[in-house]
Amino acid sequence: MFEFFRKGVASWFAGLLLALLIASFALWGIGDPMSTLGSSEIAEVGDEKITPNDFARSFENEWQQSQQRFGQSFTKELAIQFGFGTQVVTRMAELKGYDVEAKNLGLRVTDEDLRNYIISFPAFQNADGSFNRIQFEQIARYQGSSISEFEETMRSDLARKQLIDSIMNNIKAPDISTDTLNKYITEKRVAEILTIPASTMTAIGQYTDEDIQKQYDDNNANYMAPEYRDVSYFEVSASDYKDQFEITEEEGLASYEARITEFTNEEQRGFIQMLLDDETAANVAYTELQNGKVFEEVVMDQTGEDASEYEFEAQSYTDITEVYGEEVADQIFALAQGQHTEVIETALGFYLFKSTTITEGSSESYDDVKETIIADLKDENALERLYEVTDSIEDELAAGAPLNEIADALSLNLRQIKNVNSEGITPDGTASNDLPLIVDFLTQAFQAQIGDEPELFEGIANKFYMLSVDNIVDSKLRDLEDVREAVIADWTQGRRETLATELATKITDQYSAAESADKLLADFQDIESNNLTVNTVTVDRENIENNVAANIHASIYNQEVGSIETIPAADNDGFVLVRVTDRIFGDNADETKLTQTIQSVNGAYQADIMGAFTGYLYKSLPITINDQVVSDTLQVIAGPVDQ
């Protein structure tokens, strides 16, 4: 957007705007957001830390929200591949930076400030703007927080908001004239577009043997046979030993007792809550209840709403504690069905609860879960056996034993792979059927050399493997006759690309000259002879109707009238020549668009200033992020993947 003001209008405020931005960056500087630490924390922000548990919890919350938008196919593994983890940790570190800076500046949020902030927050309001306590509590639960924890989160949010507002409210881009805005919004540009596909170039001539030989000699790397290797390996996994173990009844029962909480459904309570703003009203309500008035009627009298709006399904003691705290949970679970609590004071107000349902706890019997327990015990024993085997492998390695002797000593199946390249292909062009299903196996096989000491590699899903390189057939240049067809095809394509380049350069040079300012591209003498067509388009700044491709639209609005630009074709087949011939300005822009544009300019300006301030925090606090701990935590978050 600022490019328009600099190039197209060249008004005084554009230079001032850019100068102010440059000054702000020079003042604060930009920090490195991914610097490293030597600790076990995810990040350190001033004197505060972000732990791996903090990171994992935030990742889980944000990933779940993203999965709701993108669908079940957006797995944790896919999110991590797309850099989701880096985004989360950077956002956490920067938010924590704002919190620390707010604290350093003495910004404090009183309980009254917090209360007003919460009840005015749109997400916690009914359609009429009134505060919806149930919605507030539901959102707290959704975030995995208790009410008190969620309140502290909101307190930090408010302090952070006060800090940011104190910066942003005093920053505005210089005023922009209505005439300038009209020109910016209503401008349309007329451009000639000429596509020169390399594939359509026909005057390539006839190749000679010398041409083919030169193409072959100059591009030997394109005609090399790949390196092939023979590799020996063995693999060992926990699943290899699982069926070797017999689990006794005593062992199964002992495991069942140790894991009884997993197979137990907690006792639960359903309840209605009444939350009042002041203690006097709460005490009046409690007195009415003590005098025999029905709880639901008191709710209606005190809140003006039906009690069904405040009724909750049965929840466990743990669930209620997480939301309301132990005091509330203790009182609710001490009630008989239909009874109510005393008045309970919290930061949000004064609660009264009525018990509506009591669900007794239950446990699955040993016979119900026996198969699961037996399978889990076998897995545990198999994993222990696997680690015993890997310890033995390490002992053999320390003694200098080669791969085949280690396999023999531990009765491991040694396998061979013959003539495979780094992509798993054999010399006949087919995929090798002997490759194991091990991630990075070929990478390790082609990094090793003949005679290297074997190394124990850990795969995924509780699997280990070792390999050795038995033979290497070096990559070599194929004979010309064996690749002659490919060489001819490459020469032909090269000639077409050369011709397309020469034509594009010739046209660009001619139309860049001043004497060609009034000429049309369609008048160029070689256009018709090459069966090329010039299209004239008129596009607006927003390109809403997608009249041209994005890269062509960008070229049109980055040029001066009369200039010409050559850009690569989107399909890599030749070039596209773009020449702007005119600019058209409308009379008056829509008032809404004027307002939106002003807001957009201010927003871009403020975003740059805020970015500079964030960079300042990286240096001044400082903010440091431990890349290795982030990576290790993400591996744990992704969890084991079956091969």
Lowest mean pLDDT among 42-56, 111-125, 386-400: 111-125
**φ/ψ of residue 564, rounded to 5:** -140, 145
More confident residue, 553 or 637: 553
Predicted confidence band of residue 7 (pLDDT cuts 50, 70, 90): very low
- Answer yes or no: is pLDDT of 594 > 90: no
Q: What is residue 326's three-state secondary structure?
A: helix
Lowest mean pLDDT among 33-47, 334-348, 425-439, 507-521: 33-47
More confident residue, 444 or 533: 444
Give just the sign of the alpha carbon dihedral 545, 547, 551, 552: negative
Instruction: Write the DSSP symbol of residue 109.
Output: -
In the numeric block, the tokens 């002041």 are attached to: 278
> What single-letter amino acid sits at 15?
G
Helices (H), 270-418: 279-290, 295-303, 317-324, 326-333, 366-398, 403-409
**Average of pLDDT values for 471-498?**
95
Share of the chain above pLDDT 70, in %: 91
Mean pLDDT of the chain, nearest integer: 86
pLDDT at residue 2 in the model = 37
Kindly report, residue by residue over 179-204, the tens digit of the pLDDT: 777 788 888 999 999 999 999 898 89
Q: How many Cα atoms occupy the beta-carbon half-sphere of 59 within 13 Å?
A: 28
CATH of domain 188-223+483-584: 3.10.50
* End-to-end Cα spacing for the chain: 49
Kindly report, residue by residue over 209-263, the tens digit of the pLDDT: 999 999 999 999 999 999 999 999 999 999 999 999 999 999 999 999 999 988 9
pLDDT at residue 309 in the model = 83
- Answer yes or no: is pLDDT of 503 > 70: yes
Kindly report, residue by residue over 325-341, the tens digit of the pLDDT: 889 999 999 999 999 99
pLDDT at residue 16 in the model = 33
Instruction: Write the DSSP symbol of residue 22.
Output: H
List, in order, residues 6 or more apart from 494 with CB less than 8 Å away. Answer: 215
Predicted confidence band of residue 9 (pLDDT cuts 50, 70, 90): very low
Q: Assign domain 267-360 one CATH number from 3.10.50.40, 3.40.50.720, 1.50.10.20, 3.40.50.300.
A: 3.10.50.40
Q: Decide: 573 and 199 in contact? Cβ < 8 Å.
A: yes
List, in order, residues 6 or more apart from 635 with CB less than 8 Å away. Answer: none
Q: What stretches of 91-210 adopt beta strand conformation (E)?
A: 188-196
Kindly report, residue by residue over 539-579, the tens digit of the pLDDT: 998 887 777 999 999 999 999 998 999 999 989 999 999 99
Tokens of 51: 């732990």
CATH of domain 2-172+594-638: 1.10.4030
pLDDT at residue 527 in the model = 67
pLDDT at residue 71 in the model = 83
pLDDT at residue 14 in the model = 33
**Average of pLDDT values for 146-165?**
87
pLDDT at residue 48 in the model = 92
Which neighbouring-strand residues pair with 476? Answer: 225
Kindly report, residue by residue over 91-109, the tens digit of the pLDDT: 999 999 999 998 898 888 8
User: CA nearest 258: which of 99, 389, 377?
Assistant: 377
Tokens of 196: 């020169």
pLDDT at residue 529 in the model = 62
Kindly report, residue by residue over 385-412, the tens digit of the pLDDT: 999 999 999 999 999 999 999 999 999 9
